[in-house]
Amino acid sequence: MTFLEKLRCLFTFGQGVALPMPELDEDTTPLELFTKWFNEANQSGVLLPEAMSISTCGADGQPRSRMVLLKEFDEQGFVFYTNYSSDKHQQLTENAKISILFHWGVLQRQIRIEGSIEHTSKSQSEKYFHSRDRGSQIGAWASHQSQVMTSDDELKENVKHFTEKFKGKDVPLPDFWGGIRVIPHYFEFWQGRASRLHDRLCFDLKNNETKIFKRHP
């Protein structure tokens, strides 16, 4: 974001700035456009630009959404890390389809990515797990993510237990914890515009071909 755009954002009370859609040539990939927008979100000063909502839907047909952090992305897909015993993972076991949503209000931008999931390799999960601070590593062992708590002290007691257990040692990667990679088959880039005439640029990657089109806003 340029200095002038930042000023404009300030004087419109955070309503943001409507940036133009970039010029695309026929070889532009959705990953290139995602990378450009993600970099611009990082430069905009927005808090946690890597925060994304993920929606999953298990066998009961009830969709659920929650925020996670995007940790890696490349041609292989979009990776976040979580507890494999969590509710989200249970839903993904029943139905491997997922939808990701980013919203960067200050840029008036939204990106939707739809796809299916696979697990990251153990070595990739291990590498990321050990890059986290020790407190977060112990926290991963202590939290039975999504399970109902039996008492307010349960988490604290678990932290104490695992702190003692791993004292003086490296904290190992729990076998119930690791990465999930979203392999995308649909991208939609939404750019806010005046008079609600927003841009919606879509890339459909199904059946080994890329269809690029726009939708009415």
Ligand X SMILES: Cc1cc2nc3c(=O)[nH]c(=O)nc-3n(C[C@H](O)[C@H](O)[C@H](O)COP(=O)(O)O)c2cc1C
Q: Residue 8, annotated ligand binder?
A: no
Site size toward ligand X (CB under 6 A) is: 16
136 forms part of the interface with ligand X (CB under 6 A) = no
84 forms part of the interface with ligand X (CB under 6 A) = no
d(CA 212, CA 200): 11
Q: Residue 110, annotated ligand binder?
A: yes
Nearer to ligand X, 32 or 74 (CB): 74
d(CA 8, CA 81): 36
145 forms part of the interface with ligand X (CB under 6 A) = yes
120 forms part of the interface with ligand X (CB under 6 A) = no
On the 0-12 / 13-18 / 19+ scale of CB atoms within 10 A, 9 is: buried
Nearer to ligand X, 53 or 210 (CB): 53
Nearer to ligand X, 181 or 191 (CB): 181
Q: Which two tokens stand for residue 198?
A: 């927003």
Q: Give strand pairing partners of 81.
A: 179
Q: Which of residues 48-67 bind ligand X (CB under 6 A)?
A: 48, 51, 64, 66-67
d(CA 174, CA 209): 39
72 forms part of the interface with ligand X (CB under 6 A) = no
Could you tell me which residues come within 8 angstroms of residue 145 by beta carbon, excluding any fewer than 6 positions away?
Answer: 82, 83, 85, 86, 87
| DSSP 8-state secondary structure symbol assigned to residue 166 | T
Q: Residue 81, annotated ligand binder?
A: yes
**Given candidates 5, 40, 72, 87, which one binds ligand X under the rule CB under 6 A?**
87
88 forms part of the interface with ligand X (CB under 6 A) = yes
**Given candidates 7, 10, 69, 149, which one binds ligand X under the rule CB under 6 A?**
69
Region label for 14, one of left (φ > 0), alpha (ψ between -120 and 50) or beta (otherwise): left
Q: How far is CA 175 from the centre of its chain?
A: 22
- By the criterion CB under 6 A, which residues form the site for ligand X? 48, 51, 64, 66-69, 80-83, 86-88, 145-146
Residues within the annotated binding site?
A: 66-71, 81-82, 88, 110, 128, 132, 136, 145-146, 190, 196-198, 200
